[in-house]
Amino acid sequence: MRSDGKYRQILKMTAKPDETRFELQRHRILKAAAACFNQKGYSGTSLKDVSRHLGLTDAALYYYVKNKEELVFQCYLRAAELGREAMERAVRDGDTGFEQALLYIQYHVEIMVGDAGPVAIMSEIPSLKRVHRNEILEVSRQHSASFETILRRGIEDGSIAPCDVRMTGNAIMGSINWIPKWFHGKTDMAADICSEFPMILTLTLKNQDRRPVS
């Protein structure tokens, strides 16, 4: 399994010890909060649940977030950041649109079920205050648009069969983003998800004719 790039960045030798400890604890909190929100939802989760999950005092948790709404917002920002990293890495590593789509699914799934997980499901966006809600929705739109660009690239280079990129993108993204709802950390299941999901979600994407769009 691959850890997310944020962890690699904060472990650089140039990082100050205090900053490194702060970021490590912050990510530990956001992972624990994601697990709680995914299981109980926004209304069913309290900050006490998160602090109890981590073995922290309430005061220690308030050092990192002001309230529950901000905690959800930070969880969603983290989820978006991890998805963006998977997308950028796939674009760098893949030659064709199909390869980039396949790698994006692979990388994102590995994040969902790997050391960087759990990742918060963005199902409680209406619970955010307006400024946070608008920011998350915009980030989500940009991410979806980037994946649709990959699909169009594949159609143009002949590696992906012609399809409705909006519907195809929504179907694939929805399947990936819902994984944290039913995956609860079993190692054998994680391995199966990593091997099967990329294949299943790209089964109908590949263009067997390999003829680019003229």
41 compared with 157, residue with greater pLDDT? 157
Residue 140 domain flag: yes
Residue 48 domain flag: yes
The CA-atom distances, in angstroms, between 138 and each of 16, 69, 134, 159 are 32, 18, 6, 29
- The domain tally of the chain equals 1
Residue 196 domain flag: yes
Q: Return the structure tokens found at 15.
A: 């990082």
CA distance 69 to 139: 18
186-204 pLDDT tens trace:
889 999 999 999 999 999 9
- Hunting for tokens 């604890």 — which residue is that? 25
Share of the chain above pLDDT 90, in %: 63
Residue 207 domain flag: no
The CA-atom distances, in angstroms, between 118 and each of 12, 141, 155, 156 are 23, 22, 33, 35
6-37 pLDDT tens trace:
444 444 444 455 558 878 888 899 999 999 99
Band the pLDDT of 184: cuts 50, 70, 90.
confident
Residue 211 domain flag: no
Question: What mean pLDDT is reported for the chain?
Answer: 88
Residue 209 domain flag: no
Return the pLDDT at 2. 43
- The model's pTM: 0.84
Answer whether 172's CB lies under 8 Å from 151's CB: no
Residue 77 domain flag: yes
Return the pLDDT at 140. 95
CA distance 162 to 151: 9
Band the pLDDT of 53: cuts 50, 70, 90.
confident
67-126 pLDDT tens trace:
999 999 999 999 999 999 999 999 999 999 999 999 999 999 999 999 988 999 998 899
Q: How many CA atoms lie within 13 A of 180 on its CB side?
A: 30
Return the pLDDT at 213. 58
The most confident of 1-10, 13-22, 139-148, 202-211, by mean pLDDT: 139-148
Give the CATH number, domain containing residue 112: 1.10.357.10
> In which domain, by residue range, is 76 found?
5-201
Return the pLDDT at 80. 94
Return the pLDDT at 94. 97
Residue 214 has pLDDT above 60, yes or no: no
Residue 206 domain flag: no
DSSP state string for 119-150: ---S--GGGS-HHHHHHHHHHHHHHHHHHHHH
Taking residues 41-54, what's their average pLDDT? 89
